[in-house]
């Protein structure tokens, strides 16, 4: 039982586990990536790629700018996928824009 369920709350959905971030400005990016990971209307390979970008941002002992560049690289590759629905592409572009403003 997690602390949130012990207190009567609900457990977070898969892929949306709360993370401790050294940069609070990354929180909206993580929330957007979690929404993309949980969106079943987006192809599975795109959801896996979004999770990969999220994991790249969480790598310990790697400089923030390197983590951001890694995530942008993964997301840019996903944005060019022809199977990606329009709303998914827009979400990815928004996430990339947010990450580039932090770099």
Residue 87: per-residue pLDDT: 94
Evaluate whether residue 55 is within a structural domain. Answer: yes
Host domain of residue 89? 24-102
Evaluate whether residue 46 is within a structural domain. Answer: yes
Evaluate whether residue 71 is within a structural domain. Answer: yes
Residue 60: per-residue pLDDT: 85
Q: Which residue has the higher pLDDT, 49 or 5?
A: 49
Question: Contact, 49 vs 33, CB < 8 A?
Answer: no
pLDDT band at 4 (very low <50, low <70, confident <90, very high): very low
Q: 60: domain CATH number?
A: 1.20.1440.50
Residue 46: per-residue pLDDT: 95
Evaluate whether residue 86 is within a structural domain. Answer: yes
Summarize pLDDT for 19-53 with one digit per residue, the tens.
556 678 889 999 999 999 999 999 999 999 999 99
Q: Is the dihedral of CA 47, 83, 77, 23 positive or negative?
A: negative
Evaluate whether residue 11 is within a structural domain. Answer: no
The answer to whether residue 16 scores a pLDDT higher than 80 is no
Residue 93: per-residue pLDDT: 96
Q: What's 43's DSSP letter?
A: -
Count of structural domains within the chain: 1
pTM (two decimals) = 0.77
Evaluate whether residue 13 is within a structural domain. Answer: no
CA distance 69 to 79: 15
Instruction: Give the Cα-Cα-Cα angle 49, 87, 26 (nearest 5 degrees).
Output: 55
């Amino acid at each position: 039982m997690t602390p949130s369920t012990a207190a009567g709350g609900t457990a977070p959905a898969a892929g949306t586990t709360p993370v401790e971030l050294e940069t609070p400005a990354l929180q909206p990016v993580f929330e957007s990536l979690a929404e993309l990971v949980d969106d079943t209307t987006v192809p599975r390979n795109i959801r896996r790629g979004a999770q990969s970008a999220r994991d790249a941002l969480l790598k310990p002992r790697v400089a923030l700018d390197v983590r951001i560049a890694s995530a942008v690289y993964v997301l840019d590759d996903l944005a060019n996928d022809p199977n990606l629905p329009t709303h998914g592409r827009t979400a990815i572009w928004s996430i990339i824009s947010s990450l580039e403003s932090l770099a």
